[in-house]
Amino acid sequence: MNTGSLSRERKLLLHAFQKKAGLRFRSLELLNLSFTHRSCANEDTSHSQNNERLEFLGDAVLGLVAASCLYERLGERAEGELARIKSYVVSEEVLSELAKALKLDEYILLGKGEEQSGGREKKAILADAAEALFGAYYLDSGFEVASRFVRALVEPEVDKVLQNRHHKDYKTMLQEYAQKYRRTYPLYRLMKKTGPDHDRTFWVNCELAGAEYGPAMGKNKKEAEQSAAQAAYDAIIASGGLEAARMLQIENQ
pLDDT tens, 143-190?
999 999 999 999 999 998 888 766 677 887 788 778 777 889 999 999
205, 212 Cβ separation under 8 angstroms: yes
How many separate helices (H) and strands (E) can be counted in the chain?
12, 3
pLDDT level of residue 238 (50, 70, 90 thresholds):
confident
The CATH number of 8-162 is which of 1.10.1060.10, 1.10.1520.10, 1.10.150.120, 1.10.3720.10? 1.10.1520.10
Predicted pLDDT at 248: 47
Q: b/e string for 56-87 if b means 16 or more Cβ within 10 A?
A: ebbbebbeebbbebbeeeeeeeeeeebebbbe
Predicted pLDDT at 175: 83
Written as one letter, the residue type at 20 is K
Closest alpha carbon to 136 in 9, 6, 18, 5:
18
138, 146 Cβ separation under 8 angstroms: yes
The CATH 1.10.1520.10 portion of the chain extends over 8-162
CA distances from 6 to 13, 14, 54 (A): 11, 10, 19
How far is 175 from 252, CA to CA, in rounded Å?
12
How remote is the C-alpha of 13 from its chain's centroid? 25
Q: What is the pTM of this model?
A: 0.69
So what CATH class is 170-251? alpha beta
Prior bond to 156 cis, omega within 30?
A: no
The CATH 3.30.160.20 portion of the chain extends over 170-251
Predicted pLDDT at 46: 64
202, 222 Cβ separation under 8 angstroms: no
3-state secondary structure of 213: strand
What are the catalytic residues? 59, 131
How far is 215 from 204, CA to CA, in rounded Å?
5
